[in-house]
Amino acid sequence: MEGPSLVILKEEIKSFKGKKIIEVSGNTKIEKERFKNKTVRDFKSWGKHFLICFDKFFVRIHFLMFGSYRVNEQKENRVPRLSLVFKNGEINFYTCSVKIVEGSPDDVYDWELDVMSDKWNPKKALASLKKMKDVMVCDALLDQNIFAGVGNIIKNEVLFRIKLHPETLAGAVKSSQLKNLVEEAKNYSFDFYKWKKIYQLRKHWLIYKKRKCPRCEIPVITKHTGKGKRYSFFCENCQEKPT
């Protein structure tokens, strides 16, 4: 689940902020009983981490590849990894990683790395990119220490927007285009957020999971790329690969 989706989740459950948890269950192995009768102080997101904040500690939820959640309902025949019940509703998390972290999120996270944060710092991202000369741009975009919240959909769509081949080494990209990459990582993340909120994200995909390039009208290449071996969808004609 990519960063924009977690911002939407945060908005969906804002009515539970400041409320006391009256029941806790789920198949997570963490000390979940610790949450019972505790008041949720805030919900935050950093990159792909969803944070449930209490006094002096918080719960970090990572949805991994196939995680999901339900608000005020449960999945049929599925035991939640973590279920939190309030007087005014419930949240259920599935197929995810759950961890208790002591302290405050501000002690753990650099908000300047989160593309969805008001504190996002594009200059810091650009400086990091310029040091990664031998790293493919497909890997750089998925590096959560540079672009926290960017996932595979955003990666593919950003590279298509700026006409850059996913296997291009960052050191071969002109400074102006690296700057464009940084800008579009944020721009597309907010487009993703806007479209997903109105259930039109898939409708706006230009290259991700497409068979034909909308610019060149030739077959899209589908390939595992980079060290992460994540799927890339790209056009060999219009997405240049500088050498």
Q: Sign of the C-alpha dihedral, residues 97, 98, 100, 106?
A: positive
Backbone angles phi, psi at 45, to 5 degrees: -135, 140
The percent of residues in the chain predicted with pLDDT above 70, rounded, is 100
Average pLDDT over residues 74-92: 95
Q: Supply 9's token pair.
A: 């989740």
Distance (Å, rounded) from C-alpha 155 to C-alpha 115? 13
pLDDT of residue 116: 97
CATH number for the segment(s) 111-234: 1.10.8.50
Q: What is the domain partition of the chain in residue ranges? A: 3-108, 111-234
Q: Supply 102's token pair.
A: 């002591």
Average pLDDT over residues 80-109: 96
Distance (Å, rounded) from C-alpha 173 to C-alpha 117? 26
For 50, the 3-state DSSP assignment is strand
Per residue in 151-166, pLDDT (tens digit) is: 999 999 999 999 999 9
Task: Give domain 3-108's CATH architecture.
Answer: Alpha-Beta Barrel (3.20)
Average pLDDT over residues 113-132: 96
What is the band of 10 on the pLDDT scale with cuts at 50, 70, 90? very high
Amino acid making up residue 7:
V
Answer whether residue 198 shows pLDDT above 80.
yes
| HSE-up of residue 88 (Cα within 13 Å, Cβ side) | 8
For tokens 């939190």, what's the residue?
A: 84
For 8, the 3-state DSSP assignment is helix
Q: What is the pTM of this model?
A: 0.93
Strand extents, DSSP E, the chain: 23-25, 42-46, 49-54, 57-62, 68-71, 82-86, 89-94, 97-102, 221-225, 230-234
How far is CA 188 from each of CA 56, 123, 150, 163, rounded to the nearest angstrom? 35, 18, 9, 14
For tokens 């990582």, what's the residue?
A: 185
Distance (Å, rounded) from C-alpha 153 to C-alpha 202? 10
For 108, the 3-state DSSP assignment is helix
Q: Are strands 82-86 and 230-234 parallel, antiparallel or unpaired?
A: unpaired
pLDDT of residue 180: 97
Distance (Å, rounded) from C-alpha 189 to C-alpha 74? 28
Per residue in 173-184, pLDDT (tens digit) is: 999 999 999 999
pLDDT of residue 243: 66
